[in-house]
Chains A and B, each alone.
Chain A
Amino acid sequence: MSSTPMTRSFLQVAATEEVASPLRVVQIEGLVILKIIKHCKEFSQTVVTGQLLGLDVGSVLEVTNCFPFPTRDDDEEIEADGANYQLEMMRCLREVNVDNNTVGWYQSNLLSSFLTVEVIETFMNYQENIRRCVCIIYDPSRSNQGVLALKALKLSDSFMDLYRNNNFTGEKLREKNLTWVDIFEEIPIKVSNSALISAFMTELEADTPVTQCDYDRLSLSTNPFMEKNVEFLIGCMDDLSMEQQKFQFYYRNLSRQQAQQQAWLQKRRAENMARKAAGEEPLPEEDPSNPIFKPVPEPSRLESYLFTNQVSNYCNQINGYWLRGRVSADYI
């Protein structure tokens, strides 16, 4: 009956509950890839998101289906509508025996950044409800150049701990040995197709020696893309230097405050010496009411970590282009 796949999935989920092995591979069905691409292409001007459905089997997270979310509006009414839409969609899909386990969400990435605080927040929200969750990022603009730009990301456990306690001071980060590289973990993607689809695709494959993918790859007009990349890189560097200035400001304040504290302490000690000499009670060496003893709040390092991540992303992309350019130059 229709419930058989469901019970199995619950059993599997229950089984993984006991031995929590780390998530190693995300296994995506070809259907999901096509659906994500379709959704992202149709709304290529805006960031679109959708839900991923599937099963959590041991160290493999299977993504077997997905559905798109309507483009977001800030209207509250529409937001409530969105939640209803989600429930309705899940209910409907369950009726046709689709796995209705949420395993994460997907998102399109318009060249700019996907590493934002919002993504982290969404991730934390998902993580509260489901134990394993993954975010799939698809980049339509890179895909126009013949690359299947899919990425599966998750937040690292140590980062999540820190985020929950909202602890992004230098001390804590050093204690946990967490660097900007460790915020997101990229999980390798596997693609699976049912035997039926495999049969159909083998049958339907056009008999041409060159595919659209090749045309896209060999297109020489990568310059606009490079320009955009460098532009974003520069913007990101500006943001990063802003963050650095914040830190400098903080350190300057901190050292000024410490100097003040020292001065005050010396004065108080001298005073106490004088009082001792005069046979009076010494004054306490600390005075909480004095404003110079109020700790200066340390700025969070989250933002600068994220910017650093973005910058390194852009660098990677630029390097990727260069390598591609080299390969074609080599052959020429």
Chain B
Amino acid sequence: MASSDHTVLLWGPTVTARVHPVVIFSICDSYVRRSDLADRVIGTLLGSVSPDGTVDIRNCYAVPYNEQGNVVSLDIDYHHNMLMSHQKVNPKEVIVGWYSTGFEVSGGSILIHDFYSREAVTNPVHLTVDTGFTNGEATIKAYVAFNLSLGDQQLAAQFQEIPLDLRMVEAERVGFDILRSTMVDKLPNDLEGMEVSMHRLLALIDDVSKYVDDVVEGRASPDNNIGRFIADTVASIPKIPPAAFDKLVNDRLQDHLLLLYLSSLTRTQLSVAEKLNTAAQIL
């Protein structure tokens, strides 16, 4: 393997990859649904490449393939059909690479990678997802390949691991609670969610004030960084006198009450209207 200063010479700007959770979900799903004979699934990654070299992997689809000994056969027709279909929905998504399940890069990969280098707009990214939990943890890695050549003669290709950013923010929006367990009986509703968030917020405030108290009383060793963070946070809210703050909250509550009244009134109207519509009949 080349040492790091070599790679800098060969690569210039470093490439990073961003993977959205839907991609991980799709890969896992296609792995669960793989055919009996296959021990891994591979597929195409779709997304976009930003000018600074970040590869944004937003979508993917599995491609049927066959591996026997050294012969790797990929269903290229299928790949093209799916690509056409996906581009009809979102023309902005282009091929950015390919994925494979399994731990790190395997032998047949270079052939598939060659194929994708011809298909992709830029240097393709190779994403591996270790569905077997080989070393006891969920390993997801991204690689780019470059050729080692001497003169005109190509000697080998080398896969270089690149930093990977799992965009878990998207998953957080949905909520880990429903994505993590195998079965959730009920979607959380507005109120429950709000209550959980409020509890978390209060717990955090408690934590911070406890820390500050500890520092002030000399029980914990002060950390300037944390102190600055707390100061910044406190300073980011304009200082409002308690009376004004009370008024703000109450005014808001009044507004909401008014709206609530309005909507209750509307509902009553609806029931009346319904009675009139169906009951009234001149005969």
Contacts and interface: CB of A to CB of B under 8 A. Distances in A.
A218 B201 contact: yes
Nearest to B31: A196
Given A85-B88, A322-B260, A214 B273 contact: no
Interface in B182-236: 182-191, 193-198, 200-204
A96 B30 contact: yes
Nearest to B87: A70
Contact of B270 (A213, A258, A311, A328): A311
A332 B277 CA distance: 45
Interface stretch (B2-10, B108-116, B154-162, B163-171): B163-171
B205 to A, nearest CB: 10
A29 B256 CA distance: 36
B128 interface: no
Interface in B229-283: 249, 252-253, 256-257, 259-260, 262-264, 266-267, 270, 273-274, 277-282
Q: How large is the interface on B (under 10, 10 to 19, 20 to 34, 35 or more residues)?
A: 35 or more
Interface string A164-179: 0000001101100001
Contacts, number: 252
Interface in A26-78: 29-31, 33-35, 37-39, 42, 65, 67-71
Given A96-B64, A190-B183, A327-B195, A38 B59 contact: yes
B26 interface: yes
A236 B17 CA distance: 47
Contacts of A35: 22, 26
Interface stretch (A87-95, A109-117, A284-292): A87-95
Interface string B27-38: 011111111100
A1 interface: yes
A203 B249 CA distance: 41
A303 B109 CA distance: 59
Contacts of B203: 209
Contacts of A267: none
Contact of B263 (A147, A189, A315): A315
A244 B20 contact: no
Contact of A213 (B173, B259, B267): B173
B175 interface: yes
Given A196-B32, A213-B172, A147 B26 contact: no
A99 to B, nearest CB: 9
A255 B281 CA distance: 10
B176 interface: yes
A88 B81 contact: yes
A192 B182 contact: yes
B167 to A, nearest CB: 10
Interface stretch (B66-74, B130-138, B142-150): B130-138
A14 interface: no
Contacts of B280: 170, 251
Contacts of B171: 34, 201
Contacts of B50: none
A193 B89 contact: no
Interface in A192-235: 192-206, 209-214, 216-218, 226, 230, 233
A170 B280 CA distance: 9
Given A85-B85, A146-B197, A193-B179, A329 B249 contact: yes
A34 B183 contact: no
A247 interface: yes
A188 interface: yes
A92 B25 contact: no
Nearest to B131: A196
A148 interface: yes
A3 to B, nearest CB: 9
Interface in A241-290: 244, 247, 251, 254-255, 258
A65 B184 contact: no
17 contacts: A69-B89, A96-B64, A148-B178, A171-B281, A190-B185, A192-B184, A198-B180, A205-B176, A214-B197, A217-B193, A226-B259, A258-B282, A308-B274, A312-B267, A315-B266, A318-B259, A322-B257
**A-B interface, 3 closest residue pairs, ranked by CB to CB distance from nearest:** A203-B138, A212-B172, A315-B263
Given A196-B31, A200-B24, 10 more contacts: A31-B26, A37-B174, A92-B61, A96-B64, A193-B182, A213-B172, A214-B197, A312-B270, A318-B263, A326-B256
